[in-house]
A and B are shown apart, each in its own frame.
Chain A
Amino acid sequence: MKKLLSFALACLMILSCVALAACGKKEAKLSATQEIIKQAQSMTLEELAKKAIEESNGKTFYGVGNSSRGKSALPLFIEYLQSIDSSYTMEFEWQQPKNNKIFDQLTADSKKATGTFAMTLIQDGNQIESKMVQTGVLDTFIPKDWADANGVKADEYEGYLALQTLNKVFMFNSTGSKTYTNVWDFVAEGEHGLYMDIDSELVGKNFLYMLTKDEYAKGLKEAYDALPAAKKSYIDTAVAAVESDAKDFGLGENGKYALAWIKLWVESYNAQTDDGPICNTLVDKSATDQFGLLVYSKLRSVTESESVSKNNVKVAAYEDGYTGFGGYGYCHYLFVTDNSPLPWTACAFIAYMTCTVDGFSAWGKDIGGYSSNPTVAAGTEEKYHHSTSGNKEDGTYPVLNDRGFSWWKDRLIIEDPEYCASVAFTVGSWIELLTKYKG
């Protein structure tokens, strides 16, 4: 009886503790913006638009982002609000800072009682997690319509709101006879892929961090297994060299394959300033047998000439029999600043971009960027026909036929902000010790 009583008491104590903890959690004071977000998450886009009209009519909206296209989306948003209230006006300024300064800017702005920036469109999940979210600078708002389209509940959703996933894919110049049929081929002896330097664009570094995650490391091991024995010996040396490091970092059983691929990649890639120049190089017939890892959408801007053609390149993952990942995906995330001067308008703008085809059109009109809202993604495909965009008036370019996110998602290494932040100073510091290829 005593035992039973003490067990019951113990259970009661534990339950009380849990209840207290839960109460404590509930009682955690929300900021004014978070309160508004809480209400906004249960509203439709139209309801949010009315709130935005009340709040920002005649005012100036400041946004900051890694993508310049926020500037193109804002006038469309204003037009949308004007379709509800024709007297509505709003000035806007969209800033796109360089060199990672967006984080400094947002941090500085967060120290004001009321900030300058209403919202942000930002990339690099690793830094967002460690510098923006853990520090309370940014708040996530999940639009109701977006949550419905994704089959989740807005107030229960964990994670950030992505506007879109962009893909960077392996492409190679196909004017020669060389082919790349396995992801390990890109780090084979003598290969020097063109790639934006990982210190210039940090999502590129996040991609390398992500390779060490169990599911992706497993994929690398499977691709390794599919290689012929002759190609394995070079890789085996690299795997052996990093085996102890993988153990030190507490990586899974295939972690050593991930580290080996990273080591071979960092020590071999030919660093470039941007994806634009990489694309320009690859589409020229002089780049026979070269390859690069670059944003897919860059291909849209190639003009046909005597030596340059979109048909001079192929997307590796589109080739029959290709094994392993075909590139990586990173997201543009949307956040409301915690001291937003126009929180309702920020929420409405975010909902407009993520829940309507027009709102997403600034990005959706090009291949290689995929809305996180399946309804919008379908609407975008219906409007712009990316899956057949290679059929042009001046010729056929199969490489431009975008197979869509549903095809790509299993062939990309997708950024996970929390995982990136967790390995940034273990795997990350190890990467920095590697000797980069100098040419």
Chain B
Amino acid sequence: MTTNLNMPRQKASSFRIGRNKLFTFLSQPYNIILIVLGVLCTITTVAPIIAILEDTFKIHPGTIDQYLTGKTEGFSLANYTDLFTSPLAKTNLWTPLGNTLIISFFACVAAILFGGLFAFLVTRTNMKCKKYLSSIFIFPYIMPQWTLALVWRNLFNSNAVTGTSDGLLASLFGIHMPLWWCQGIFPCIMVLGMHYSAFAYILIGGIFRNMDANLEEAATILNTPKWRIVTRITLPMVKPAILSTVLLVFGSSMGSYPVPHYLKLSTLSTKYLEMNDKYAGEASILAVIMMVIGVLIMVLNQRSLKSRKNYTTVTGKSGQISKINLGKVGKWVIAIILIIATFMTSIYPLISFAFETFLPNPGDYSFLRTWDPSNLTAKWWLTSENVTENGLYGQMGMLYNKTIWSAYGGTIFLSIMCALFAGTLGTLIGYAVSKKRRNRFANYVNNIAFLPYLMPSVAVGIAFFILLATNEKISLYNTYTLLIIVGTVKYIPFASRASLNSMLQLSGEIEESAIIQNVPWFKRMFRIIIPIQKSSILSGFLLPFITCMRELSLFMLLCVQGFIMSTTMDYFDEMGLAAFSSGMNLILIVTILIFNGIINKVTGASLDKGIGG
């Protein structure tokens, strides 16, 4: 009887305990952040994947699946069987897949070699002109991905070998590079390697900067030769960082569309666009394959992160970092070599773009042969009327061209919004995960937020196109809303990684003392945590901004030409208005440099300080 009487009390008590536990749980802002952003990131990551998976089974009217099944709607396995078993399997699947894997792998190797070596020279040696070189080295990363491809093409193409207009070398010096140099795998690897070498520099350089030099100092005291210190101590310490860089560059290279497109290589992303008209479902399978590789990369990345526990890189810093002495001559010689190399990858493209906007016809280098100023023109900038017979295909000059300036405005707006959303959400994720670092759900949120970064841009664009652009209920095609959603999802990892790394460096006591003083969470964030780590956190805003400014692969399926700069540049370039795409490139790069400079002056954050501060 007593037991029966106590039952409701016990129930009420356990209810109260549960309620109190819930209140306690929810009273911690980082728990709410984890739940809300966990759900949000799951939806924005999983829903597009489901949409694209569904598309692989769907029958699309007017395409091969309709032809094979005889139906105009419904679901079928025809896309899978046809893609993997038809006589076209080699052309449509295996060759593009092979090429994709090859260029992605070797682009990583090239990026690590260029960027890693450069990072080492800048941070660990007494090389000269470091400040200049450090700033200039990131230019290729600031520039749209395909600009180096265009520079490569404009430099090395020749009528005798590629059958196209003579490039600069052929036109002026009669130098004809072989075809494998001009088109295909090799130039793709080089261009992607150079583009992402800046990325590798940012990532590896950050580790080199933060690395504890105690071990190296100990080895130096023990009279260990320099080369042995590098190979046995320095490199093993940065090995996990190199591995992470490889995986990130691999994912990014795999999703590159414009580079293989301009350099004539069949990859999964170029094949997707080729197949989409007649083989829509099979094209979606290609996107799924890219996503699967992305997930595999994440698993590998997870393993590499686990293994990183063995290599603590950020500890109490040693008072002095041992720098390799390159010698009186060496430090200058290496600097000069790098100045020349970076001139070719960073300055020459700018000069080339500027020069291109004064040529009478694209690739017409008559001026350089004759030095006659009449072989130059300002029409690409100054034409103020809609004329067709002036080489402008009915477009007005760049200064008067509404399409260009509207796209420019659109890009600035989009980049700011993506930076704000991705930066804020990423910072919150980083903060919340750092607070519950051993919690499984926190790890899940961290991973699911990072996953879109490892997925190729083209695949993410395709998935969102299917989910939000061609959906009968929601059709957001060609709206900033769609681009902002996609950009935010894709760029959250920049901010979450920057935030997480910086938050992990913060001692918990700092916030705890504020909690004891009953300082509210908002105040703690804005008065204590963010100011301390503002440089790293702002990097998490700056990287999405810059990446978004010149993003093409992610957005090209989601909006029309003229909506943002990258799609407009691509449009003008493809139609033969190279002067326009060059001029727009210049405008874009100058804008990014101005923003980077302002943020650097005001806050101290800058792109070359990189992810993780």
The one of B273, B392, B560 that contacts A96, using a Cβ cutoff of 8 Å: B560
Across the interface, do A99 and B362 meet the contact criterion of CB distance under 8 Å? no
* B556 cross-chain contacts in A, Cβ below 8 A: 98-99
* A100 cross-chain contacts in B, Cβ below 8 A: 273, 276-277
Across the interface, do B561 and A96 meet the contact criterion of CB distance under 8 Å? yes
* A98 cross-chain contacts in B, Cβ below 8 A: 556-557, 560-561, 567, 570-571
User: Whole-angstrom distance between the alpha carbons of A98 and B574 in the complex?
Assistant: 11
* A69 cross-chain contacts in B, Cβ below 8 A: 394
The stretch among B101-109, B299-307, B312-320, B471-479 that forms the contact with chain A is B471-479
Across the interface, do B361 and A202 meet the contact criterion of CB distance under 8 Å? no
Within B351-372, the residues touching A (CB, 8 Å) are: 360-366, 369-370, 372
User: Whole-angstrom distance between the alpha carbons of A438 and B61 in the complex?
Assistant: 32
* B576 cross-chain contacts in A, Cβ below 8 A: 274-277, 279-280, 298, 301
Asked if A43 lies at the interface with its beta carbon under 8 angstroms from chain B, I say: no
Determine chain B's interface SS by DSSP, over half rule: loop
Within A272-323, the residues touching B (CB, 8 Å) are: 272-277, 279-281, 283-284, 286-287, 290, 298, 300-308
* A298 cross-chain contacts in B, Cβ below 8 A: 576
Asked if A11 lies at the interface with its beta carbon under 8 angstroms from chain B, I say: no
* B366 cross-chain contacts in A, Cβ below 8 A: 305-308
The stretch among A151-159, A214-222, A424-432 that forms the contact with chain B is A424-432
How far does the Cβ of A158 sit from chain B's closest Cβ, in whole Å? 20
Across the interface, do B62 and A127 meet the contact criterion of CB distance under 8 Å? yes
Residue of B nearest to A426 (CB): B67
Size category, A interface? 35 or more
Across the interface, do B388 and A130 meet the contact criterion of CB distance under 8 Å? no
Within A68-112, the residues touching B (CB, 8 Å) are: 68-69, 72, 95-101, 103-105, 107-109, 111-112
Asked if A199 lies at the interface with its beta carbon under 8 angstroms from chain B, I say: yes
Asked if A23 lies at the interface with its beta carbon under 8 angstroms from chain B, I say: no
User: Whole-angstrom distance between the alpha carbons of A112 and B64 in the complex?
Assistant: 25
Across the interface, do B388 and A109 meet the contact criterion of CB distance under 8 Å? no
* A272 cross-chain contacts in B, Cβ below 8 A: 164
Within B365-403, the residues touching A (CB, 8 Å) are: 365-366, 369-370, 372, 375, 377, 379, 386, 388-394
Residue of B nearest to A68 (CB): B561
User: Whole-angstrom distance between the alpha carbons of A96 and B561 in the complex?
Assistant: 7
Across the interface, do B88 and A433 meet the contact criterion of CB distance under 8 Å? yes
How far does the Cβ of A200 sit from chain B's closest Cβ, in whole Å? 7
How far does the Cβ of B323 sit from chain A's closest Cβ, in whole Å? 48
Across the interface, do A303 and B391 meet the contact criterion of CB distance under 8 Å? yes
User: Whole-angstrom distance between the alpha carbons of A280 and B170 in the complex?
Assistant: 16
Across the interface, do B470 and A104 meet the contact criterion of CB distance under 8 Å? yes
* A304 cross-chain contacts in B, Cβ below 8 A: 360
User: Whole-angstrom distance between the alpha carbons of A202 and B279 in the complex?
Assistant: 13
Asked if B20 lies at the interface with its beta carbon under 8 angstroms from chain A, I say: no
The one of B62, B274, B561, B575 that contacts A130, using a Cβ cutoff of 8 Å: B62
Contacts A277-B165, A281-B159, A306-B370; A108 near B471 (Cβ below 8 A):
yes
Asked if B262 lies at the interface with its beta carbon under 8 angstroms from chain A, I say: yes
Across the interface, do B477 and A105 meet the contact criterion of CB distance under 8 Å? yes
Within B434-482, the residues touching A (CB, 8 Å) are: 465, 469-472, 475, 477-478
Within B548-590, the residues touching A (CB, 8 Å) are: 556-557, 560-562, 567, 570-571, 573-577
Asked if B183 lies at the interface with its beta carbon under 8 angstroms from chain A, I say: yes
Across the interface, do B61 and A130 meet the contact criterion of CB distance under 8 Å? yes
* A271 cross-chain contacts in B, Cβ below 8 A: 264
Across the interface, do B276 and A99 meet the contact criterion of CB distance under 8 Å? yes
Across the interface, do B561 and A202 meet the contact criterion of CB distance under 8 Å? no
Asked if A192 lies at the interface with its beta carbon under 8 angstroms from chain B, I say: yes
Residue of A nearest to B389 (CB): A300
User: Whole-angstrom distance between the alpha carbons of A306 and B91 in the complex?
Assistant: 43
Across the interface, do B393 and A432 meet the contact criterion of CB distance under 8 Å? no
Contacts A99-B556, A131-B61, A307-B366; A290 near B159 (Cβ below 8 A):
yes
Within A407-431, the residues touching B (CB, 8 Å) are: 421, 424-425, 428-429
The one of A95, A127, A303, A429 that contacts B360, using a Cβ cutoff of 8 Å: A303
User: Whole-angstrom distance between the alpha carbons of A272 and B66 in the complex?
Assistant: 31
Asked if A134 lies at the interface with its beta carbon under 8 angstroms from chain B, I say: yes
The one of B273, B377, B386, B475 that contacts A108, using a Cβ cutoff of 8 Å: B475
* A99 cross-chain contacts in B, Cβ below 8 A: 273, 276, 556-557
* B88 cross-chain contacts in A, Cβ below 8 A: 429, 432-433
User: Whole-angstrom distance between the alpha carbons of A306 and B359 in the complex?
Assistant: 12
Across the interface, do B274 and A199 meet the contact criterion of CB distance under 8 Å? yes
Within B244-300, the residues touching A (CB, 8 Å) are: 261-262, 264, 273-278
User: Whole-angstrom distance between the alpha carbons of A105 and B465 in the complex?
Assistant: 10
Residue of A nearest to B257 (CB): A99
Residue of B nearest to A283 (CB): B361
* B159 cross-chain contacts in A, Cβ below 8 A: 281, 284, 286-287, 290
Across the interface, do B164 and A277 meet the contact criterion of CB distance under 8 Å? yes
Across the interface, do A97 and B575 meet the contact criterion of CB distance under 8 Å? no
* B393 cross-chain contacts in A, Cβ below 8 A: 276, 301
Asked if A116 lies at the interface with its beta carbon under 8 angstroms from chain B, I say: yes
Asked if B520 lies at the interface with its beta carbon under 8 angstroms from chain A, I say: no
User: Whole-angstrom distance between the alpha carbons of A108 and B577 in the complex?
Assistant: 32
Across the interface, do A200 and B274 meet the contact criterion of CB distance under 8 Å? yes
The one of B63, B276, B360, B478 that contacts A308, using a Cβ cutoff of 8 Å: B360
Asked if A385 lies at the interface with its beta carbon under 8 angstroms from chain B, I say: no
Residue of A nearest to B159 (CB): A286
Asked if A228 lies at the interface with its beta carbon under 8 angstroms from chain B, I say: no
* A281 cross-chain contacts in B, Cβ below 8 A: 159, 163-165, 363
How far does the Cβ of A166 sit from chain B's closest Cβ, in whole Å? 14
How far does the Cβ of A84 sit from chain B's closest Cβ, in whole Å? 26
Residue of A nearest to B272 (CB): A99
* B591 cross-chain contacts in A, Cβ below 8 A: none
Asked if B179 lies at the interface with its beta carbon under 8 angstroms from chain A, I say: yes
* A96 cross-chain contacts in B, Cβ below 8 A: 560-562
User: Whole-angstrom distance between the alpha carbons of A356 and B324 in the complex?
Assistant: 78
* B164 cross-chain contacts in A, Cβ below 8 A: 194, 270, 272, 277, 281
Contacts A108-B472, A108-B477, A284-B165; A439 near B64 (Cβ below 8 A):
no
* A306 cross-chain contacts in B, Cβ below 8 A: 366, 369-370, 372, 375
How far does the Cβ of A333 sit from chain B's closest Cβ, in whole Å? 15
- Interchain residue pairs A-B with the least CB separation, the first 6: A276-B576, A130-B62, A111-B472, A306-B366, A131-B62, A108-B470
Add 9 more A-B contacts to A286-B170, A303-B377 (CB < 8 A).
Answer: A96-B562, A98-B570, A134-B72, A270-B164, A273-B573, A280-B165, A286-B165, A298-B576, A424-B278
B interface, CB within 8 angstroms of A: 61-64, 66-67, 72, 87-88, 91, 159, 161-166, 170-171, 179, 183-184, 261-262, 264, 273-278, 360-366, 369-370, 372, 375, 377, 379, 386, 388-394, 465, 469-472, 475, 477-478, 556-557, 560-562, 567, 570-571, 573-577
* Sampled A-B contacts (18; CB under 8 Å): A69-B394, A98-B570, A101-B465, A108-B471, A131-B62, A273-B261, A279-B576, A290-B159, A301-B388, A301-B393, A301-B576, A303-B377, A305-B360, A306-B369, A421-B62, A425-B67, A439-B179, A439-B264
